[in-house]
Homo-oligomer: A and B are copies of this chain.
């Protein structure tokens, strides 16, 4: 077993383990789908990864994530992580960023975002699209896709596709907002696409609405037939996880971590 080559990031001991980053083509469109409202972002990104047969090329590890490892069925462990995939559609490269969890500590949110933008800069991204849900607390038959961007150019582009700007109110918490706002300083046009969703359950409809915008924009052919199944799977997986979380092999209370001898 050999020592692995890793990329030590500048901030706070996060690091990236690269598999095949040299295969990523320049000027990709980056699509970010991290856990959030209605899991819309996660479902959209996971679905695109599967449909486009995207390949994993790098993994991001960070003390920003809880210090626990996941036990896999094959007997191995893995740390919580963000994962980078890439795929091509026609002649356009796409990079997908998915992950297990967002940092709880607010300053880690900034660190992780900056670390990842620094890393992605080597590929000179053409655009960053973050996906999220926009919680309405209502059941919506035909969810709209709301947008918030970092440049006029992005707003124009997506207004053509029916995305509504200036209608989402309040703030966007976490990565979906920070990548767009911080992307500005890196000179990368960026947009957050939010599917309207109730907010309290995993939502296939909201995911489909966002997928349709992306498909139209980049002329992707997406087969939606497995989306319902994906959503069901995701719901089941989440239930399992919640049960596992309860069972999780954690010391019961702080006392058990302490022992003076």
Which A positions have Cβ atoms within 8 angstroms of B? Answer: 1-4, 6, 11-13, 15, 17, 35-37, 39, 42, 46, 62-80, 98, 100-102, 104-111, 113-114, 132-135, 147-151, 153, 155, 165-166, 168-174, 177-178, 180-182, 184-189, 192, 194, 199-200, 237-238, 241-242, 244-245, 247-252, 254-261
B17 touches A171 (CB 8 A): no
Q: Report the copy number of this chain in the oligomer.
A: 4
Other than A17-B185, A68-B171, give 17 A-B pairs with Cβ distance below 8 A: A1-B151, A6-B185, A13-B107, A35-B256, A46-B261, A65-B106, A66-B106, A67-B109, A69-B178, A73-B166, A74-B166, A101-B259, A134-B249, A135-B249, A135-B252, A173-B249, A245-B258
Residues in B with CB closer than 8 Å to A80 are 260
* Partner pick for A68 among B65, B74, B111, B177, CB 8 A cutoff: B177
What distance in Å separates the Cβ of A251 from its nearest Cβ neighbour in chain B? 5
Residues in B with CB closer than 8 Å to A70 are 170-171, 260
What distance in Å separates the Cβ of A110 from its nearest Cβ neighbour in chain B? 4
A250, B255: Cα distance in complex, Å = 17
With A76-B148, A166-B74 given, is the CB distance from A251 to B36 under 8 Å?
yes
Q: Is the interface of A mostly helix, strand, loop or mixed?
A: mixed
Residues in B with CB closer than 8 Å to A78 are 181
A260 touches B100 (CB 8 A): yes
Residues in B with CB closer than 8 Å to A251 are 35-37, 102, 173-174
